[in-house]
Amino acid sequence: MAGGWSKDGAIQDQIDASVQDAVDRARNQLPKGESISHCEECDNEIPVARRQAVAGVRLCVACQTTLDEANTLCGYNRRGSKDSQLR
């Protein structure tokens, strides 16, 4: 059911686009290439299990956790309405 000038399914298309953007952004942030043996930040050894589990790993768990916490995103505001900005 569309309202006004929007086509049928426009809201679902917008939701799907938001989800796809988030998936693409997450995939682009995945490490690529060969893992290294020591962390680029603190120079501690990266455990073998982590290097085997995550291809292209460059940081130890502690440094990766710190980086992830610093890089949290609030997301997109596609609607631009006041209500969506308050959530």
Indicate the domain borders of the chain. 30-71
Q: What integer pLDDT is reported at residue 84 of this predicted model? A: 53
Residues 35, 16 contacting (CB under 8 angstroms): no
Residue with tokens 């997301």: 75
Output the tens digit of pLDDT for each of the chain's 87 residues: 555 666 777 888 899 999 999 999 988 888 788 999 999 999 999 999 999 988 899 999 999 999 888 877 655 555 565 555 555
Take residue 43 and report the two structure tokens written for it: 């120079």
CA 40 from centre of chain: 21
